[in-house]
Amino acid sequence: MRWRLVPGQTLLRHDLDGEYAIYNNLTGDTHVLPDDAVQLLLALRAAPAQPEALLALLAPLAADAEPEPDPAQAILLMLEELAALDLVEQTAC
Amino acid sequence: MLTLGSLERRELEARLAGPGLDLCTGPYVTRLRAPIASVADGLQLLYADYPVLADGQFADFHISLLPSAGLRRWYKPQVHFRHDGHVVFRPLPQAHAFPMFEWGMNWCVSSHANDHLIVHAAVLEKAGAAVILPAPPGSGKSTLCATLAHRGWRLLSDELALVRLSDGLLTPLPRPISLKNASIDLMRSYLATPEQGEPVLSRPVSDTSKGTVAHLKAPATAVARAGEAARPAWIIFPTWEAGSEARLTPLSSAAAFTGVAQNAFNYSLTAARGFTVLGELVDACGCYAFRYSRLDDALAVFDQLPRETP
């Protein structure tokens, strides 16, 4: 299964010194998200992707961060959290 | 321009009982019908400097405060607030008529001024830089606001920060400052000066939903400058805490953003534009939490707020 940005999502965002406020134009909700979550959203806006591919996309970010003991699981958790915010969803295509 | 203070009492009462008094507060005109002596008293005391218009011009808000009819005229008389003819609030004891007028005026703006991001906050300005003080009830916001407004800062509002969605500037809405309980006597003595004596306060009204309330007259200079928008420079979340040193603590942009959004009346309604304006507001401001107990100390801190652009 691949993940994608929920169709119609504009990802209107505002840089808050290392975090981002994201305006979900489909629900009207606002969320404050860490930078890595926003990079993941931007990657999914470019194209739907498997979690493994996202892991590769985010790898450069992790270079100067604390090593993640289980990166694949961390990406999956982040995707599920973003799905709970109606920002991303799984797709069969 | 005609001001309310230039009206004879008889003329004021005739307007309030008849076609309505067209009262200008900030950018808004309110047509008020209120044949109630305590409302006329409060208006004469606190609104003498405000412009009033001739009958029949455009008014943004049409409100009435009318006494009960029937048996209620004599038994526990009540006052009824209506906006555009519709009942908005439950009736209150008639002794609460003037506070109800003030609360109703706040409601009119906070429910309709959606060309602004409306934040529950006091706003003051000095030397072209405005400070926004968002805070929930009980935080000492109005006491601090009253102090600043009478010690060199221009009052834009005690209750409603109006951030223009078009350009992010702050629209003034200077009106009387709502004081509650112990703050009433505190301000009566603290703001008294040898030159001007005690500040002008409405008669305290007890047993309201907020306890005892009284309203402090807005400085005439603030009313006269109601047409001058101000540029936001600081967002400060005040908290009064017994025994606390006056202390500013920098806030992260994320904390300031969410704090202002939580105090906004119409953040959701203003949607993407409100989001963008709020982000730009936070960018433009130094953002702090502020604890204080002594007003003199608070004044000293506010007079030395960091002016650098964040």
- A33 forms bridges with which residues in the sheet? A20
B14 and B170 Cβ atoms separated by less than 8 Å: no
Instruction: Establish if B191 belongs to a structural domain.
Output: no
The count of domains in chain B is: 2
Residue B53 backbone dihedrals phi, psi, to 5 degrees: -100, 160
Interface of A with B (CB under 8 A): 10, 12, 14, 16-17, 19, 21, 23, 25, 28, 30, 32
B45-62: average pLDDT = 93
Given a cut of 70, whether residue B47 has pLDDT beyond it is: yes
B299 and B148 Cβ atoms separated by less than 8 Å: yes
User: Domain containing B270: what range?
Assistant: 116-175+218-302
Cα distance from N-terminal residue to C-terminal residue, chain B: 41
List, for residues B192-213, the tens digit of each pLDDT value: 999 888 999 999 999 999 999 9
**Domains of chain A by residue range:** 2-91
Cβ contact B282–A16 (<8 Å): yes
CB-nearest to A16 from B253, B272, B276 is B253
Judging by DSSP bridges, how do beta strands A2-5 and A88-91 pair with one another? Answer: antiparallel
Q: What is the pLDDT of residue A60?
A: 59
CB-nearest to A16 from B254, B267, B268 is B254
If pLDDT is split at 50, 70 and 90, which confidence band does B54 have? confident
Cβ contact B279–A21 (<8 Å): yes
Cβ contact A19–B253 (<8 Å): yes
Instruction: Establish if B138 belongs to a structural domain.
Output: yes
Given a cut of 50, whether residue B278 has pLDDT beyond it is: yes
Q: How far is CA B131 from CA A68, B150, B193, in A?
A: 42, 15, 25
What CATH number does the domain containing B238 carry?
Answer: 3.90.228.20
Name, in order, each residue with C-beta under 8 angstroms of B107's C-beta and a sequence gap of 6 or more.
B83, B88, B89
Stretch among A50-64, B79-93, B199-213, B247-261 having the lowest mean pLDDT:
A50-64
Looking at the fold, whether B160 and B255 belong to one and the same domain comes out as yes
Q: Which residues of A touch B254 (CB under 8 A)?
A: 16-17, 19, 21, 32
Cβ contact A28–B282 (<8 Å): no
Q: What is the pLDDT of residue B310?
A: 44
Mean pLDDT, chain B, integer? 95
Interface of B with A (CB under 8 A): 252-254, 257-258, 261, 267-268, 271-272, 275-276, 279, 282
Q: What is the pLDDT of residue B308?
A: 57
Q: What is the CATH number of domain A2-91?
A: 3.90.930.60
Which residue from B236, B231, B232 is spatially nearest to B251, judged by alpha carbons?
A: B236
Residue environment code for A54-87, b if the CB has 16+ CB neighbours within 10 A, otherwise e: bbebbeeeeeeeeeeeebeebbeebbeebeeeeb
At which of B112, B128, B151 does a domain end? B112
B236-245: average pLDDT = 96
Q: What's the complex ipTM?
A: 0.90
List, for residues A34-74, the tens digit of each pLDDT value: 999 999 999 999 999 999 888 876 665 555 666 677 888 88
Q: What is the DSSP string of B55-69?
A: TTS--SEEEEEEE--
Q: What is the pLDDT of residue A88?
A: 98
Cα atoms in the Cβ-side hemisphere of radius 13 Å centred on B260: 34
- pTM for the model: 0.94
Nearest residue in A to B274, CA atom: A23
Looking at the fold, whether B170 and B50 belong to one and the same domain comes out as no
Q: Which residues of A touch B275 (CB under 8 A)?
A: 12, 14, 21, 23, 30
Instruction: Establish if B244 belongs to a structural domain.
Output: yes
List, for residues B135-152, the tens digit of each pLDDT value: 988 888 999 999 999 999
Q: What is the pLDDT of residue B166?
A: 98
At which of B112, B132, B153 does a domain end? B112
